[in-house]
Structure 1
Amino acid sequence: MEYRPLGQTGLEVSSIGLGCVTFGREIDKATSFDVLDHALERGINLLDTAEAYAAGESERVVGEWMADRGVRDRVVLATKVSGTLTRERVITSAEESLQRLGVDVIDLFQLHVFDDSTPWTRPWRPSTRWWNRARSSTSVAATGGRGRWPCPGWVGLRRGPPNGIGAAALQPRAA
């Protein structure tokens, strides 16, 4: 398997990632575990899920598999927030994803679909209760704040209009 840097995140990801959209929906838990085992054995370390996949069941299946196999440190875990991208919605989504996944940190937290209704200038500062929980020492300003949160500074945009992606790229970030 070939591995590549994921942008400037410091993460190395397999050139092939595993999309987990069908886990807990078309594919039952046991079969999902088999697919995840097979992928990891072949060197695939990028697992992509979302809160919207099977109403969160995909995240639960991936989280249970990581816990059962003890492989959290071997995967790059990506998930996504959907819907309106207000500060409150993003924070709630991340907290709920952390619970479903059974992890302390999400490696790549993505915006599933661009939201034209929420201006990029609206602050998304993480809440102070996250400061004590976060394992990462990275300060996040990609979300408009300077607090630490359990997504170590890497927020991705899955798709969106060019002007929206440009606006997101111009948001200040902390060192």
Structure 2
Amino acid sequence: MMERRVGHSGLRTSALGLGTMTWGRDTSADDAAEMLRDFLDVGGTLLDTSSSYGGGDAESVIGEVLRDTGVRDDLVLCTKGGRDASRRALLADLDRSLARLGTDHVDLFLVACPDPATPLAETVGALRLAVTSGRARYVGLSNHPGWAGAHAATLLDDVGLTALEVEYSLLQRGVEREVQPAATALGMGLLAWSPLGRGVLTGKYRRTVPADSRAASPHLAGFVEPYLTAAAAAVVEAAVTAAQGLGRTPAEVALSWVLSRDAVASAIVGARTPAQLRQSLGAAELTLPDEVLSALDDVSTVEVGYPERW
């Protein structure tokens, strides 16, 4: 799997990342270890987690797997904290994450979401301290609007704001309004979470809701439901048609489309099982024909107007 540079920084990650939202809850430690092994075997490096995943259980599972396998140095380890993004809470989140992960630093530390109660300058100051104290090699934001990314990048020009992690898929192209242009202009890389449209772009929900799927899960059904619509179904059918024509899986087509977009450094696959992960790994080596890209663009187009486009 090819590596990609994250924005204008020196950080490089694999084109596909491995997400861990289900680890410790829906994904057992044994399955997690198998997925990480398969991921590393094809050249994957980016392992993405958060202090909030499973209330910290995902990080604990990662720490266990890393202790058992000794592969820490082969990974670009990314975690998120800071739903309370004050200096006190953000750095406390980071310290607890490091303890669970069993490491003295992460390669990338992100603020999970905007915190209206904390000035952005204070949050940025905490990110600076995370880097200067050695607890994080690079820092960024997750789920923030474009103006916040641009402002934070300006405030943090001494150590650099490296990455913006955002939801981005054929079913969610809102970042193209201002987040993606800001990232491109200011040299930040995009990490795309849920590039499979919360699993919907695999095609598994075309006929029914499988009993073992996220949409049937009491704690994840609400996460999937926004994309079980007629409009989303039309996009899914286009991805399925393209996949059939190319002899690939719909997941590979959807991921390859994301990887073709400006500023995207990595598409993070949140597989729940080893089998699900294996359906996606070939996407890193797939280049979609121009006519397929154009057809997918058309069927999933996002409306961009004033003031993003004058």
TM range (shorter): 0.7 to 0.9
> Structure 1 or 2: larger helix share?
2
Q: Judging changes above 3 Å, is the alpha-carbon distance between structure 1 residues 63 and 157 closer, same or farther for their aligned structure 2 residues?
A: same
Residue of structure 1 in register with 2:148 after alignment: 164
Contact 2:85–2:123 (CA under 8 A) maintained in structure 1: no
Output the CA distance in 2 between the equivalents of 1:146 and 1:48. Answer: 18
**CA offset at residue 7 of structure 1?**
2.4
Output the CA distance in 2 between the equivalents of 1:144 and 1:164. Answer: 19
Of residues 132, 136, 150, the one that matches 2:135 is 150
What runs of 5+ residues in structure 1 fail to find an aligned partner? 127-141
Residue of structure 1 in register with 2:5 after alignment: 5
Residue of structure 2 in register with 1:108 after alignment: 108
Contact 1:113–1:159 (CA under 8 A) maintained in structure 2: yes
- RMSD across aligned C-alpha pairs, in angstroms? 2.0
Contact 1:88–1:124 (CA under 8 A) maintained in structure 2: no
**CA offset at residue 67 of structure 1?**
1.6
Output the CA distance in 2 between the equivalents of 1:8 and 1:165. Answer: 15
**CA offset at residue 19 of structure 1?**
0.5
Residue of structure 2 in register with 1:35 after alignment: 35
Output the CA distance in 1 between the equivalents of 2:131 and 2:47. Answer: 27
Residue of structure 1 in register with 2:64 after alignment: 64
TM-score, scaled to structure 2: 0.48
Matched, 1:93 2:93: yes
TM-score, scaled to structure 1: 0.83
Output the CA distance in 2 between the equivalents of 1:7 and 1:67. Answer: 31
* Count of residues in Structure 1 that have an aligned counterpart in Structure 2: 159
Q: Judging changes above 3 Å, is the alpha-carbon distance between structure 1 residues 71 and 163 closer, same or farther for their aligned structure 2 residues?
A: same
Contact 1:125–1:144 (CA under 8 A) maintained in structure 2: yes
What is the CA deviation profile of residues 73-123 of structure 1, one whole-angstrom value per residue up to 9, with x for unaligned ones? 100000000311000011100100000000011100011112222112227
Give the share of equivalent positions with the same residue, in percent: 33
Output the CA distance in 1 between the equivalents of 2:60 and 2:37. Answer: 16
What is the CA deviation profile of residues 30-85 of structure 1, one whole-angstrom value per residue up to 9, with x for unaligned ones? 11111111111111110000001011111111121112111111000000003110
**CA offset at residue 163 of structure 1?**
2.2
Matched, 1:24 2:9: no
What is the CA deviation profile of residues 127-165 of structure 1, one whole-angstrom value per residue up to 9, with x for unaligned ones? xxxxxxxxxxxxxxx53788423112x211111122222
**CA offset at residue 6 of structure 1?**
1.8
Q: Judging changes above 3 Å, is the alpha-carbon distance between structure 1 residues 47 and 119 closer, same or farther for their aligned structure 2 residues?
A: same
Contact 2:83–2:113 (CA under 8 A) maintained in structure 1: yes
Q: Which letter maps to 1:148? A: S
Structure 1 counterpart SS, 2:65: helix
Output the CA distance in 1 between the equivalents of 2:6 and 2:52. Answer: 23
Q: Which letter maps to 2:50? A: A
Residue of structure 2 in register with 1:135 after alignment: none
What runs of 5+ residues in structure 2 fail to find an aligned partner? 160-310
